[in-house]
Amino acid sequence: MKREILNQLREDQKSKTPVALATDLVSGQECLVYHERAHGELANDQEITTLARRSLQNDKSGTVSIGNREISVHVFNPPLRMAIVGAVHIAQPLARMASVAGYDVTIIDPRQSFATEERFPGVTLMDEWPDDGMRKVDIDRRTAVVTLTHDPKLDDPGLSIALKSPAFYIGSLGSRKTHASRVERLKADGFTDSEIARIHGPVGLNLHAVSPAEIAISILAEVTATLHAREDKAAAA
- pLDDT for res 144: 97
Choice between 51 and 237, residue whose per-residue pLDDT is larger:
51
Q: Say yes or no to pLDDT of 202 above 70.
A: yes
Sorted by sequence, the CB contacts under 8 Å of residue 123 that are 6+ apart come out as 95, 99, 105, 106, 107
Question: Which of 154, 159, 153, 236 lies closest to 197 in space, CA to CA?
Answer: 159
Q: Hey, where are the domains in the chain?
A: 3-76, 81-232
For 207-213, the CB contacts below 8 A with 24+ separation are 212/89, 212/90, 212/92, 212/93, 213/93
Dihedral of alpha carbons 97, 98, 104, 107, sign: negative
Q: Say yes or no to pLDDT of 181 above 90.
A: yes
**Contact criterion met (CB below 8 Å) for 69 and 24:** yes
The CATH homologous superfamily to which domain 81-232 belongs is NAD(P)-binding Rossmann-like Domain (3.40.50.720)
- pLDDT for res 14: 85
Q: Say yes or no to pLDDT of 140 above 90.
A: no
Choice between 230 and 137, residue whose per-residue pLDDT is larger:
137
- pLDDT for res 231: 61
The pLDDT tens digits of the residues spanning 39-98 come to: 999 999 999 999 999 898 788 899 999 988 999 999 998 889 999 999 999 999 999 999
pLDDT band, very low/low/confident/very high, at 232 (cuts 50, 70, 90)? low
Mean pLDDT confidence for 8-31: 92
3-class SS of residue 141: coil
**Contact criterion met (CB below 8 Å) for 140 and 169:** no
Mean pLDDT confidence for 178-186: 96
Sorted by sequence, the CB contacts under 8 Å of residue 112 that are 6+ apart come out as 127
